[in-house]
Chains A and B, each alone.
Chain A
Amino acid sequence: MIAFTLRRLLVAVPTLFLIGTASFFLMRAAPGGPFDADADLEPQVLANIRASYDLDKPLFEQYLIYLRRALTGDFGPSLVYKDFTVTELIGIGLPVSMRLGAMAMLIALLVGASAGIVAALRQNRLIDHLVMAMAMTGIAIPSFVVAPLLALLFGLYLGLLPVAGWNGGAWRNMVLPVTALALPQIAIIARLMRGGMLEVLRSDFVRTARAKGLGEWRVVSRHALRPALVPLVGYLGPALAGIMTGSLVIELIFNLPGVGRYFVQGALNRDYPLVMGVVVIYAGLIIVLNLLSDLAYAALDPRVRRQYR
Chain B
Amino acid sequence: MTPLLEITDLDLRFDTEHGGVHAVDRLSLEVHESECIGIVGESGSGKTQTFLAALGLLAENGRATGSVRFRGEEILNAPRRRLDQLRGSRLAMIFQDALSALTPTMTIGGQLAEPLRRHQGLSRSAARARALEMLETVGLPDAARRLRAYPFELSGGQRQRVMIAMALICRPDLVIADEPTTALDVTVQAQVLRLLDGVKRHTRTSIVLITHDLAVVAGLCDRVAIMYAGRMVETGSADDIFLRPQHPYTQGLLRSMPALGDELERELPAIPGQPPDMRRLPPGCGFQPRCRLAVERCHREQPSLARFAPGHRCACHLVPSA
The complex places the Cα of A303 from the Cα of B86 at a distance, in Å, of: 33
- B88 & A211 in contact (Cβ 8 Å cutoff): yes
In the bound complex, what is the Cα–Cα distance between A300 and B86 (angstroms)?
Answer: 31
Complex interface: chain A residues within 8 A of B97 (CB): 204
**Which listed residue (A204, A212, A300) contacts B87, Cβ 8 A?**
A212
In Å, the complex CA distance between A306 and B153 comes to: 10
Docked pose: A306 CA to B102 CA in angstroms: 18
Q: Mark A215-233 against chain B: 1 for CB-CB distance below 8 A, else 0.
A: 1101000110011000000
Taking the complex as formed, is A15 at the interface, i.e. its CB lies under 8 A from any CB of chain B? no
Q: Tell me the bound Cα distance from A223 to B104 in angstroms.
A: 9
| Option from B85, B104, B150 in Cβ contact (under 8 Å) with A213 | B85
B104, A302: Cβ atoms under 8 Å? yes
Q: How many residues of B contact A (CB 8 A)?
A: 30
B87 to chain A, nearest CB (A): 4
Residues of A199-249 contacting chain B, CB below 8 A: 202-205, 207-216, 218, 222-223, 226-227
Residues of chain A contacted by B105 (CB below 8 angstroms): 226-227, 300-302
Which chain A residues border B88 with CB–CB below 8 Å? 211-214
Query: A208–B87 contact, CB under 8 A?
Result: no
Q: Which of B33-41, B114-122, B130-138, B239-247 contacts A (4 or more CB under 8 A)?
A: B114-122
Please measure, in the bound complex, the distance between the C-alpha atom of A27 and the C-alpha atom of B69, giving whole angstroms: 78
Query: How distant is the Cα of A215 from the Cα of B87 in the complex, in angstroms?
Result: 11
B152: nearest residue on chain A (CB-CB)? Answer: A303
Q: Which of A204, A222, A227, A303 has the largest number of chain B CB atoms within 10 A?
A: A204
> Across the interface, do A303 and B95 meet the contact criterion of CB distance under 8 Å?
no
B residues less than 8 Å from A216 (CB atoms): 80
Scan residues 75-120 of chain A and give those whose CB is less than 8 A from a CB of chain B: none
Q: Is the CB of B59 closer than 8 A to any CB of chain A?
A: yes
Identify which of B59, B86, B101, B119 contacts A208 (C-beta below 8 A).
B101
Q: How far is the CA of A208 from the CA of B273 in the complex (A)?
A: 35
Taking CB atoms, residues of chain A closer than 8 Å to B115 are 212-213
A-B pairs, 8 with minimum CB distance: A213-B88, A212-B88, A213-B87, A204-B100, A226-B105, A302-B150, A205-B103, A204-B101
10 A-B pairs in the complex with CB atoms less than 8 angstroms apart: A204-B95, A208-B101, A208-B103, A211-B55, A212-B114, A213-B88, A218-B114, A222-B106, A223-B106, A226-B105
Known: A208-B95, A215-B84. 16 other contacts (CB 8 A): A203-B100, A204-B95, A205-B101, A208-B101, A210-B57, A211-B55, A212-B118, A213-B83, A213-B85, A213-B87, A213-B118, A216-B80, A227-B103, A302-B150, A302-B152, A303-B104
Interface residues, chain A, with chain B CB atoms under 8 Å away: 202-205, 207-216, 218, 222-223, 226-227, 300-303, 306
